[in-house]
Amino acid sequence: MDPSNIREKIGRFRILIIGRANAGKTTILQRVCNTRDNPQIYNSAGEKIDLEVLTASKSRELHDIHNEMVFQSNPGFVFHDPRGFEAGSQSEFDKVKAFIADHSKETKITKRLHAIWYCIPMDEASRSFTAAENKFFSQCDTGSIPVIVLFTKFDALYDVAYAQLKKEGRSRKDAKQLAQKRAEETFANGTQLKFLQNVRWPPRGHVCLPNMNKDDANPGPLIECTAGALDDEVLERLFVSTQQTNLEICMIHAIESTLRKHLETTASEGHETMIGTLGGWFPHIQAVRVSILV
């Protein structure tokens, strides 16, 4: 596939975001799409759902897993958000499992599910893994679709670490300075990662996301982790070029995947072709003809 036509032929990058209520899912999507606005929601027929006219009795319609959530700031992403199944509801789990199975078998890449983000909030670290998480990671084979675990509200662990340091006799100033490092070290050796390492269907990666409710929150680690989990170069290029929050990631992938191959090959492609290929990694790049004088 011509790299310059990837977005034109595939369209949008499709992500299923899973997690219990109040896991910070919407906030994370807003950060990824660089907006404070709420998404527009479309049903499976492509019809926009008018949120203002929905009655309370129809609230389930908002969380139909087949609905598409799109942010105007970046329509290149389409998200699916099922109703939370943190209570271990078998019917809700079956819907998610069927959705993943159906979209993993799609012959058209435009309809295929490209990645899964599973959100686990850390403000209740003692119940990080409920019946829903146990069921998902032990019974749901996602095939080639990469799963990334997002430990959201990770800054809640900073408060726990601060309290521990104070109990150990540290001053307020020292405890505040050391809290983040202590929290990260404790987490790295904690039960959450050990659980994920021993499940039947482990995730492709994980990322810790603190303070995502702040204006300067950085979704970069999530972007990097997701890009690294994609084993299809076409999808990797689509994802990297669709995200608009981290130009550095575009540059890294363009150099490592395209420029390096160009420099190493003896049958070098033309300069115009190479520049067009490099441009495919960058968001909002329009194809232009470049004349190079040698």
Q: What is the pLDDT of residues 189-230, one digit of tens each?
A: 999 999 999 999 999 999 999 999 998 899 999 999 999 999
Q: Which helix (H) or strand (E) holds 147?
A: strand 147-152
Q: What's the predicted TM-score (pTM) here?
A: 0.84
Is the model more confident about 258 or about 139? 139
Give residue-wise pLDDT tens across range 163-195: 999 999 999 999 999 999 999 999 999 999 999
**pLDDT reading at 4 higher than 80:** no
Q: Where are the domains of the chain?
A: 3-244, 246-294
Q: What pLDDT score does 45 carry?
A: 85
User: Using an 8 Å Cβ cutoff, are 115 and 238 in contact?
Assistant: no
- Quickly name the fold that domain 3-244 has: Rossmann fold (3.40.50)
Give the pLDDT of residue 127: 76
190/188 Cα distance (integer angstroms): 6
Residue 181: the pLDDT is 96
Q: Give the highest mean pLDDT range of 90-104, 112-126, 160-174.
A: 160-174
According to the model, what pLDDT value does residue 229 have? 95
Segment holding 181, helix H or strand E: helix 172-188
